[in-house]
Amino acid sequence: MLLACFLFGLIVFSYKHPGRLQEYVGAKVPKQSAVADAAVYTPPLIPSPEAPLHPSEYVAQCRELNQGFMTHGDYWDRPSMDMGSSQGLEDEEAVDDTYRLPEGGRTAVCSKTITYLLDGEVGLLADLALIAQAAALARERNRTLIIDDTYWNRGKWGDHFEDAFALQPGPEPGCRAPHPKNLVACPRTARHWVITAHTAKYHFGHPFSDHYEDPYARNLNRLRPIYDAAHKSFISTIRPNSELGALIRSARHEFKESISTLNSTPETYMSVHIRRGDRKQRLSNSKPPYISISEFATAIQLTQSRLDDVLSSSMIYFASDSPSAESEFATAFSERFFSLRQSQDPALWQLASMQDYDQKTFNALSKEERIRLTKGMVVDFALLSGVWAWKGDPVPQASVCTISSNICKMMAVGLGWDKAFGRVDEMGYLDDHHKGWVEIEQKGQIIPLWSAFELS
């Protein structure tokens, strides 16, 4: 018993005075290394207090909060776990932020917001498709929509588009954005919800479809509410700025003159988009990487024949990221198409892409080059889809494209539901005789044949 007490006393002494016992018995005690201690601890990177977290940190936030349990209930139900409560939930009373503002800045913080954070890791139309849905959610939930371009690789949002804050002011016109520290990626019921292209998969997957698709409709008709939401956003919230608007009108005017020389209906044409670069065919690895020009030519001819009353011998507006694809296309259609590369206006032809687009190498280009190519894509998209057209402007009656491109998905939105899909029947099958949106990659083999966005 005495021995046990003695040993216990030694243990306590050793714990309270580390190394002293070794000194008493003559053993060498290794010295503590200050360098080693410093290597163990790495101070966390602290972002600028006025900037949002890096987009990857928002992804990590959502990944952590969605591990190990299944969510049930309605899309907008509060999470069952106490997640994000420190930043407030949507229906809780807002607390004003108190960080210093520049002279004359907005003074009242928006009480509830949806921020779309452009992360610079996806293509332009991939972002715009998601912004269109975010804008629709902001309208529905009576929140203020904010677009943050802190990490965008295409310049500033205002370099290309009008201020979404002004076009869709929300319930509190003139309010200011919340402090970045209050932005929460997950859960979506947070008062200040932030979305990125890579957190979208946590919010725009099956629960979103279950909530926002028409539950009483079938096939394509189920997607009508989501389609209409995107269409409204492109009309009212996502609009080119005055500089780009002038370039779009200039391109439409020059194209209209080209149409007039070919037929007597200058308001009618077809549009064709060919995406190459890093977008290869999805359905089979055994196929050539890209849809051939001959397949595009066949689709164009069949569409013109099918819609002969409006498209007989019509001109084609052509756009592609690939100069070689345009050269091939020119061989087949020579004098019957127009593109930015063919424009006589230097302000337009200099916007055309000089190389196939690859998202991974896009950042290697200079900032000026990235901004230029983005402007070119906005002009191309306007003429490919017919969106943002003024009265009397030519608009496409039909479009040919491949679904792996987000441009193709949004071309259907620009055409309008009836022009894109024809007279969709009660079973939700599109009208193969009157449809104007002609997708030649999946060719209707995958249901649904159209989707509103891409999840990364």
**Domain check: are 201 and 348 in the same one?**
no
Q: Is residue 79 part of a domain?
A: no
- 176 and 115 within one domain: yes
pLDDT at residue 11 greater than cutoff 90: no
Q: Is residue 231 part of a domain?
A: no
Specify the pLDDT at position 15: 43
* Predicted local distance difference test score (pLDDT) of residue 73: 76
DSSP secondary structure of 130-175: HHHHHHHHHHHHT-EEEEE-TT-SSS-GGGTB--HHHHS-TTSTT-
Least Cα distance to 204 among 75, 117, 71, 116 occurs for 75
145 within a domain of the structure (yes/no)? yes
Give 47's pLDDT tier (boundaries 50, 70, 90).
very low
What is the mean pLDDT of the segment spanning 43-57?
67
pLDDT of residue 34: 36
280 plus 364 within the same structural domain: yes
Q: Say yes or no: 130 and 262 in one domain.
A: no
Do 208 and 279 lie in one domain? The reply is no
247, 206: one domain = no
Three-state SS string across 379-402, please?
A: HHHHHHHCCCCCCCCCEEEEEEEC
Model confidence at 456, in pLDDT bands (50, 70, 90)? confident
Residue 12 — pLDDT band, cuts 50, 70, 90? very low
- Looking at the fold, whether 334 and 391 belong to one and the same domain comes out as yes
Measured CA to CA in angstroms, residue 135 lies from 116, 122, 128, 232, 405 at distances of 9, 19, 10, 9, 22
Q: Is residue 21 in a domain?
A: no
User: Is position 28 within any domain?
Assistant: no
Q: At what angle do helices 224-236 and 124-141 cross, to 10 degrees?
A: 100
pLDDT in tens, 66-87: 886 556 678 998 876 544 444 5
pLDDT band at 313 (very low <50, low <70, confident <90, very high): confident
Task: Please indicate, yes or no, whether residues 282 and 177 belong to a single structural domain of this protein.
Answer: no
My answer on whether 338 and 425 are in the same domain is yes
**Residue 360 placed within a domain:** yes
Contacts of 66 (CB under 8 A, 6+ apart): 186, 202
CATH number at residue 378: 3.40.50
Q: Are residues 203 and 246 in the same domain?
A: no
What does pTM read for this prediction?
Answer: 0.84
Q: What is the pLDDT of residues 325-346, one digit of tens each?
A: 999 999 988 878 999 999 999 9
Determine contact, residues 303/270, Cβ cutoff 8 Å: yes
Based on the domain organization, do 112 and 193 belong to the same domain? yes
* Section 132-149 average pLDDT: 98
> What range defines the domain where residue 285 resides?
242-439
The tens digit of pLDDT for each residue in 246-281 reads 999 999 999 999 887 766 566 789 999 999 877 765
97 within some domain:
no
Q: What is the pLDDT of residue 40?
A: 30
Domain presence at residue 329: yes
Are 295 and 172 part of one and the same domain? no
Residue 121: exposure state from Cβ atoms within 10 A (0-12, 13-18, ≥19): buried
How far apart CA 153 and CA 103 sit, in angstroms, is 29
Of the residues 167, 194, 212, which one is the last residue of a structural domain? 212
Q: What local confidence, expressed as pLDDT, does residue 10 receive? A: 55
Count up the domains in the chain and report the number: 2
Distance CA 156, CA 150 (A): 8
Q: For 413-431, how does the pLDDT look when each residue is reduced to its tens digit (9 = 90+)?
A: 999 999 999 999 999 999 9
SS (H, E, C) 301-336: HHHHHHCHHHHCCCEEEEEECCHHHHHHHHHHHHHH
